[in-house]
Structure 1
Amino acid sequence: MQTVKRLPRSAPPSRLDMNDLPQDLIANVLSFTGPRESCRLAVVSSTFWSASLSDTVWDRFLPPDILSILSRTTNASDPDFASNKKDLFLRLCERPILIDGGRKSFSLDKRTGKKCYMISSRDLHIIWGDTPRYWKWVPESDSRFGEAAELVGVCWLELKGTIPTTMLSPSTLYTAYLVFRSPQGGYGFDHQPVEVSVGLSGSDKTVRSVYLDAGMVKRKRLQQERGSGVYPKERGDGSYEVELGDFFTKEGVGEGELEMYLAEVKGGNWKGGIFVEGIEIRPKEAK
């Protein structure tokens, strides 16, 4: 009978210690996650925390054309590309910068790092906007642009904003909002909705109705419709926003112009008392 020789038992593999991994390797791994995930992983260990501060991580979270965007800023005190990349990212999330002669603002979405813009009222096409009888440009200390378009009174309300789709982040679902103030509540909007649409210029667009009366939900207690986007929602700075519509930026599609439109031309009633700050475009928030 043949004897089977036993091989010597090998030593069990040593337990892997995360602190033994090269920091640049961890930083490279973190760069393939996302801003929020990277910050969460930073609390795993001191090695992860150190790696999470690396420019390798945050350079990937910044838009590839960030240098070009920063060159369009109008304020010398705004952050520049020489900053620590994490600090630059966080500053752009928390404090929008003015670009294009102060007629637009740029920021980043803190969750995703996607681009966000606001088109100032001065950069909107407003019917009768150059007629002081109907519209006035007034200083607005609470506005990032320092001014707003006051709707004195019109029976024909129509405004439009446009932005090249190439300025937006690819493969992203965006929502456009009209941002306005209504210190005295406005008038003429309580029962008459306005029509809004968002889409590529020259294409068919879905038209929906929204209300600009900031106090309507509270008065009528329409609690079930507060999150529908049909009624204004108060922002942290005391202004209001109302959804104009959504738009998905397809990757690889050629240059186009995104058009955001708002009008009330059917009711015939006079309306006014709101201060338009602009139109904001940012990634759609999960419900």
Structure 2
Amino acid sequence: MGSSLSNLTEGAASGRPGLGDIPESCVACVFMYLTPPEICNLARLNRAFRGAASSDSVWENKLPPNYQDLLDLLPPERYHNSSKKDIFALLSRPVPFDDGNKEVWIDRVTGRVCMSISARGMAITGIEDRRYWNWVPTEESRFNVVAYLQQIWWFEVDGAVKFPFPADIYTVLFRLHLGRFTKRLGRRVCTFDHTHGWDIKPVRFELSTSDGHQSSCEFCLDETEQDEADGNHKRGCWIEYKVGEFIVTNSEPPTEVKFAMKQIDCTHSKGGLCVDAVFIIPSNLREHKRRGVLK
């Protein structure tokens, strides 16, 4: 295969047809069926491939249909006179909005829209009182800060976002961590001094959308009955809890998504929990990433 490709690329020098003889328009048609990483790799072969890989018609096909809504979150000078390829590269990086508490971006392989909402962008009961909550700076969050709960009786976190999501099926996830983590001598260390109460009763997760969809589920965040050899798999690790899914059939009007997690049984206190963010991601995209199909 490598020898055949070499012969094709060197065909022009030997008088035989090669890849460089393929019309750029034909190459562009083939690129319509490839992923952006594949297109960028093939662009290195020759001039025709480079030209096709820069074609607006190719990259228009890779962008979500409402990509202008994402661009509207940026200053116009960031994308003015940019090619569609440059716009794809720009939007594949996080675009912050709502004072930087929310981010939206397109997946680099599929071009589908993803979003994250920081703990700072949510309503957290008691967050102003440092006896209960603290903001902890960390590189382990894409927002560089997480909300850490020391102890509280009434636990409730609520959030909402209104956005013109493209047609797709989306999954809503809370990213949580039991225990407080720090770095000592370059190593990650977790402490569980405040971690308690999450094994008594489950936490309830709720999801609703402006088109009437509702779903809820419950998870026990702590596991005390673990095998001693295996340990507690939920402590000291970031875990994504799936709240539910919702379907968008059209980006207009914008879809409002509300989400919450709560444990409001005041018969016991709970603590030692880090709240990072909520993620809204196309459902089968999440499954592909978990299997390692997409990076």
Q: 1:180 maps to which residue?
A: 176
Deviations 1:40-82 (A, max 9, x none): 8x499755565234333223322344455345359x9x97465
Q: CA deviation at 1:191?
A: 4.3
Amino acid across the alignment from 1:117: M
Q: CA deviation at 1:265?
A: 1.7
RMSD: 4.0
Amino acid across the alignment from 1:207: S
**Counterparts of residues 43-58 of structure 1 (less than 5 Å):** 46=46, 47-48=48-49, 50-58=51-59
- The one of 129, 150, 164 equivalent to 2:127 is 129
Q: CA deviation at 1:109?
A: 1.9
Q: CA deviation at 1:104?
A: 0.7
Q: CA deviation at 1:214?
A: 8.3
Whole-angstrom distance in 1 between the partners of 2:49 and 2:227: 47
Q: CA deviation at 1:141?
A: 4.0
Q: 1:264 maps to which residue?
A: 263
Q: Give the secondary structure class of the aligned counterpart of 1:57.
A: helix
Q: 1:153 maps to which residue?
A: 151
Determine if contact 1:199/1:260 at 8 Å carries over to the other structure.
Answer: yes
Q: CA deviation at 1:220?
A: 9.1
Whole-angstrom distance in 2 between the partners of 1:106 and 1:23: 33
* 1:62 and 2:63 aligned: yes
Whole-angstrom distance in 2 between the partners of 1:251 and 1:267: 42
Does the C-alpha gap of structure 1 residues 49 and 98 become closer, same or farther in structure 2, counting only changes over 3 Å?
same
Q: 1:24 maps to which residue?
A: 25
Whole-angstrom distance in 2 between the partners of 1:27 and 1:65: 22
5+ residue gaps, structure 2: 1-16, 181-190
Does the C-alpha gap of structure 1 residues 120 and 198 become closer, same or farther in structure 2, counting only changes over 3 Å?
same
* 1:276 and 2:258 aligned: no
Q: CA deviation at 1:116?
A: 0.9
Whole-angstrom distance in 2 between the partners of 1:109 and 1:216: 39
Whole-angstrom distance in 2 between the partners of 1:83 and 1:119: 28
Q: Give the secondary structure class of the aligned counterpart of 1:51.
A: helix
- The one of 87, 90, 108 equivalent to 1:110 is 108
Whole-angstrom distance in 2 between the partners of 1:23 and 1:142: 44
Q: CA deviation at 1:118?
A: 0.7
The structure carrying a bigger strand percent of its residues is 2
- Normalised by the length of structure 2, the TM-score is 0.68
* 1:209 and 2:218 aligned: yes
User: What is the total number of aligned residue pairs between the two structures?
Assistant: 257
Whole-angstrom distance in 1 between the partners of 2:25 and 2:87: 20
- Normalised by the length of structure 1, the TM-score is 0.70
**Counterparts of residues 176-255 of structure 1 (less than 5 Å):** 176-181=172-177, 182-183=179-180, 184-185=191-192, 186-201=195-210, 203=212, 205-213=214-222, 239-251=238-250, 254-255=253-254
Whole-angstrom distance in 2 between the partners of 1:214 and 1:23: 59
Deviations 1:157-182 (A, max 9, x none): 1112211241x221x11111112344
